[in-house]
Amino acid sequence: MTNPLLNLLLALVTAVGTLVGAAHAQDGPLRIEITEGVIEPLPYAAPDFVPDSAAAAETAQQLTRVIAADLSGTGLFREIPASAHIGQVQDFAAPVQFADWKAINAQALITGGVTVSGNKLTVRFRVWDVFAGKELGNGLQFVGTTDGWRRMAHKVADAVYSRITGESGYFDSRVVFVSESGPKNERRKRLAIMDYDGANVQYLTDSSAIVLAPRFSPTGDRVLYTSYETGFPRIYVLDVGQVKRRVLESQDGTMSFAPRFAPDGKTVVFSLAEGGNTDIYSMDVSSGKTKRLSSSPSIETGPSYSPDGKQIVFESDRSGTQQLYIMSADGGAATRISFGQGRYGTPVWSPRGDLIAFTKQSKGRFHIGVMRTDGSEERLLTASFLDEGPTWAPNGRVIMFTRETKGASGRSALYSVDITGRNLRPVRTPDGASDPSWSPLQK
Amino acid sequence: MNNFIKASAALALMTITACTNNGIDDSNSVDLNAPINGSTSGLLSDQASPAYFQQSIGDRVLFLVDQASLTDEARSILAAQAGWLASNPAYSAVIEGHADEQGTREYNLALGARRANAAREYMISQGVAGDRLKVVSYGKERPLEICSEENCYAKNRRAVTVLSSDLTG
């Protein structure tokens, strides 16, 4: 069964190097043209969802704004503001007056209704292909509690995004990161977690010890990170729900850092420095048993598993400069994949398996980039004084990273960019922020 | 026909109790950076004092960009540090390796580990017992100078020997 909007809208990127084309209003159904031009965001209208009572009015309005912020924030959609609307939706059940929305060239329309009963919140919505005069998919209803209204909004936006693009969404997700305050030479760092859009920040540790590079487990319930609480860098695992943490790796006389979970959530790969030499190890989380995966006098760090868990991409300076390599998850021989000019580090395998994101240093600048897993089709997405540490959105279409500004007053902040290099945006955080790790979509 | 799909996502939101303290506070936290300024007790004229070690001998050696090899100057400072440790057996040391900000975080941790270890190995070659010398890397986390110019970076690419008179474990 074909859905017109699935053809017509935002086919997104189906292969690396293929850029999203513009959605043109044409005679007949909308259609996406794959071009290498600049995308024209899809115009849509999201009139405030209709509250069933005065008590639901504020929630309905806020919820609609979050949905619109999610969609417009992708750079793929452009909201037509309420001030330009001709028609109004006052009854969610009433037929849509397509002419009103065609007149303002809204190609998609999102309508919804909100019911609040005690602390129970029910949200219903429908997505309309205005020019086809049809509903896109079926109406959907989410039931939850009123204090979860933001998550409900993100779930609605994920559903809309998914119906229109054919891709899974990424809005109902969280980011764990390092919150930073204080001057550069006395920076205080603590772990924090927030919604992907910067809302609902909560702190997971205090700032009594340096903490670095938290990374989510594949199910988002645990976080690995590095802390100096013993005076030496050690890897900890934190249960996000209970804020319980324990040291995972602790051998006297060594330093351990750069941990990441395997896709099965049972194994952790990390770097261990001993006698000045840094190599990659894996550890079974439940037994604590470690296995050495690299054995070389050079620096091996930044390991990240492929989504099937069979391979690990990492960085090494064995050639003389930092470059990217892939080896089997059991260790052993590695194949170099980066060959461009400059230094490559912090590789992270895309959740789709198709791309590797990295940090590149070249000619005094830092870049976030992506390449295929064989190293081909390298594409730099950003450039600045200091960009580093990419993390993938759960759908593999957007990357978040750290950007630090230059000089004595230099400050770290989080940014996101899509994998075509468009839509570079700051992610709002209360203080400085670094080392983001994006969670999977929440259930 | 009700065509609503009841996806009653329970949305039982994770509640995360804000955590202000994980059982670590000033009483049991070891700030290995503090001694750079904090442990310089004793008179500079007293050759057995940490102040003398820090200021007259020099408690740090510097490195070239992305390098961990010791310069001649670094070797002579480390030899003098080793001599001081030989004369002052009550002291142990933690050697902190640091990097400038021109590098990715984890690579710089590994680079700092290399630098600290290079200093440690040289001091061992000069007769200091290995169990008196620990190493730690701070990567680019604790710059001394905060400008983004080479004159600051040069001072940040360092290995600092931090004395302790009661280092245990």
DSSP string, B24-70: --TTT---SSTHHHH---S-TT-TTSHHHIIIIIISEEE--TT--PP
Residue B162 has pLDDT above 60, yes or no: yes
Does a structural domain hold residue A6?
A: no
Question: Which residues of chain A lie closer than 8 angstroms to B107, CB-CB?
Answer: 299, 301-302, 315, 317, 322, 345
Model confidence at B42, pLDDT cuts 50, 70, 90, reads: low
Q: Do A141 and A197 belong together in one domain?
A: no
Q: What is the pLDDT of residue B10?
A: 36
Q: Give the residue from chain A lying closest to B135, CA to CA.
A: A253
Q: Which of A141, A204, A435 sits opposite B7 (nearest CB)?
A: A141
How many angstroms from the chain centroid is the CA of residue B53?
A: 17
Does a structural domain hold residue B27?
A: no
Q: Do A298 and A184 belong together in one domain?
A: yes
Question: Which tens digits make up the pLDDT trace of A239-288?
Answer: 987 777 788 877 788 999 999 999 999 999 999 999 999 999 999 999 98
Q: Do A64 and A136 belong together in one domain?
A: yes
Interchain CB distance below 8 Å, B114 and A276: yes
Q: What is the pLDDT of residue A247?
A: 83
The CATH number of residue A113's host domain is 3.40.50.10070
Question: Which residues of chain A lie closer than 8 angstroms to B145, CB-CB?
Answer: 185
Residue B66 has pLDDT above 60, yes or no: yes
Q: What is the pLDDT of residue A72?
A: 96
Give every residue of chain A whose pLDDT is below 70, as ranges: 1-38
Number of domains in chain B: 1
Residue B17 has pLDDT above 80, yes or no: no
Give the structural domain span for A182: 174-438
Q: Which residues 36-65 in chain B show a CB within 8 A of chain A?
A: none
> What pairs with residue A397 in β-bridges?
none
The CATH number of residue B80's host domain is 3.30.1330.60
Report whether A245 contacts A235 (CB < 8 A): no
Question: Which residues of chain B lie closer than 8 angstroms to A245, CB-CB?
Answer: 22
Rounded-to-integer distance, Cα B106 and Cα A273, Å: 11
Does a structural domain hold residue A132?
A: yes
Exposure of A240 in the CB half-sphere (CA atoms within 13 A): 25
Interchain CB distance below 8 Å, B109 and A184: no
Q: At what angle do helices A149-165 and A54-73 cross, to 10 degrees?
A: 50
Interchain CB distance below 8 Å, B9 and A155: yes
Q: What is the pLDDT of residue A59?
A: 96
Smallest Cα distance from A61 to chain B, Å = 20
Among residues A133, A165, A197, which one ends one of the domains? A165
Residue B9 has pLDDT above 80, yes or no: no
Question: Which residues of chain B lie closer than 8 angstroms to A432, CB-CB?
Answer: none
Q: What is the mean pLDDT of chain B?
A: 81
Question: Which residues of chain B lie closer than 8 angstroms to A228, CB-CB?
Answer: 32
Q: Assess A88–B contact: CB distance below 8 Å, yes or no.
A: no
Q: Assess A199–B contact: CB distance below 8 Å, yes or no.
A: no
Among residues A165, A186, A201, which one ends one of the domains? A165
Among residues A145, A165, A185, which one ends one of the domains? A165
Q: What is the pLDDT of residue B41?
A: 60
Does a structural domain hold residue B160?
A: yes
Q: Which of A144, A276, A388 sits opposite B117 (nearest CB)?
A: A276
Number of domains in chain A: 2
Worst-scoring range by mean pLDDT, A136-150, A277-291, B10-24, B31-45? B10-24
